[in-house]
Amino acid sequence: MVEITVSGPVDEPTGMVCNLVDLDRFVGKEIIERYDHQSLNLLPEFKTNVPTTENLCVAIYEIVKRRFGQAHLEKVRIEETMMNSFEYAGEGEKL
């Protein structure tokens, strides 16, 4: 399971930080389509990096950071199993 957390001021007319439909569509197109049912080892970002959940977390963070402009990206969290999860919020100690 992947969780994307974004933040920002609540827009007065819409009452939204960002339109969830847009975020959902973005994640579907840019993240799910890219990684779902793929062999991660064959993707260019894992040519030299081992496709650990740590590195997948960073890769997803970089995509959202670069291409989703509607709100500030806080963090990406991946639940690898029920017992293990990984979070990345950019360089430095953000959490």
Residue ranges that bind other proteins, judged by CB under 8 A: 3, 5, 49-52, 54-55, 57-58, 75, 77, 82-89, 91-95
- What is residue 39's three-state secondary structure? coil
In the structure encoding, which two tokens stand for residue 5, read together?
């957390």
Task: Give 13 or 77: the residue with its C-beta nearer to other proteins.
Answer: 77
Closest alpha carbon to 39 in 47, 92, 93, 24: 47
What is the nearest approach in angstroms of other proteins to the Cβ of residue 7?
10
Task: Give 35 or 86: the residue with its C-beta nearer to other proteins.
Answer: 86
What is the nearest approach in angstroms of other proteins to the Cβ of residue 44?
16
Cβ(40)–Cβ(46) below 8 Å: yes
